[in-house]
């Protein structure tokens, strides 16, 4: 690309014409990232900005690390590629089931356990702003693992569950929000339990940006 076009505003306009939600546009963004150095970072940012599940990011680890049933010890170098893309994720909505796009994969709950054991206390996605977490297996949605996605940069958190799903894991999560997500602006709990209302009342004053 000509150096006259190496302006952030122009680069952003070029990338803005493409949508990561459209398959053809995703292919175009991936091509831009591979072939144009000036557009690489903006194109990758657009591609990874929103992720519905963990399947794409897990593919950044060695294959035997994310194949269910394998017991592989990851070393520091194995996380370099993972971190390169994980820091670009700003919106994440989790699904713990087999996706239509990857019929050969099935993400089991044990994957969260493995990731938590292999990672440092740092959040999986340090730039995450929006997190949507809900049940997909008819249980509590593995609330104990939400903490690995919480970060000081998180501004929007949505937790969707039925009455039978709330437990001590959620109460602990709610009470920890002022410390783990001090910049939280929007908190949505889809719930029928009064226990959560009392928990929220106890932390509202500790989240000054909440509205």
Buried b (16+ CB within 10 A) or exposed e, 62-76: beebbeeeeeeebee
Band of residue 137 on the pLDDT scale cut at 50, 70, 90: very low
E strands, 8-67, where? 50-51
Give the pairing type, strands 186-190 and 156-160: parallel
Q: Spell out the domain ranges in the chain.
A: 1-48, 49-206
E strands, the chain, where? 50-51, 91-93, 130-133, 156-160, 186-190
**Contact indicator for 158, 132 with CB cutoff of 8 Å:** yes
- Residue-wise pLDDT tens digits, 148-202: 888 899 999 998 765 455 567 777 888 889 999 999 999 988 765 666 777 788 8
- Residue-wise pLDDT tens digits, 1-40: 656 666 677 777 778 888 766 788 888 889 988 988 888 9
**Model pTM?**
0.80
- Residue-wise pLDDT tens digits, 63-121: 766 665 555 667 778 889 999 999 999 999 865 444 454 444 445 556 666 677 766 66
Instruction: Let me know the angle formed at the C-alpha of 111 by 106 and 116, rounded to the nearest 5 degrees.
Output: 165
CATH architecture of 49-206: Alpha-Beta Horseshoe (3.80)
């Amino acid at each position: 690309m000509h150096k006259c076009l190496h302006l952030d505003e122009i680069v952003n306009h070029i990338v803005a014409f493409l949508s990561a939600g459209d398959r053809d546009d995703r292919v175009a963004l991936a091509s831009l990232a591979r072939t144009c150095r000036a557009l690489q970072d903006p194109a990758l940012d657009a591609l990874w900005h929103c992720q519905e599940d963990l399947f794409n990011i897990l593919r950044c680890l060695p294959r035997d690390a994310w194949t269910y049933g394998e017991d592989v010890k990851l070393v520091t170098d194995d996380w370099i590629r993972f971190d390169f893309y994980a820091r670009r994720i700003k919106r994440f909505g989790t699904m713990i089931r087999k996706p239509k796009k990857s019929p050969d994969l099935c993400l089991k709950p044990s994957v969260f356990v493995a990731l938590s054991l292999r990672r440092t206390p740092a959040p999986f996605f340090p730039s995450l702003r929006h997190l949507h977490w809900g049940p997909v297996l008819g249980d509590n949605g593995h609330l104990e693992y939400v903490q690995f996605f919480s970060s000081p940069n998180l501004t929007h958190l949505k937790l969707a569950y039925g009455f039978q799903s709330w437990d001590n894991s959620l109460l602990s999560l709610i009470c920890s929000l002022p410390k783990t997500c001090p910049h939280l602006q929007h908190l949505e709990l889809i719930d029928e339990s009064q226990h959560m209302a009392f928990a929220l009342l106890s932390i509202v004053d500790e989240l000054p940006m909440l509205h």
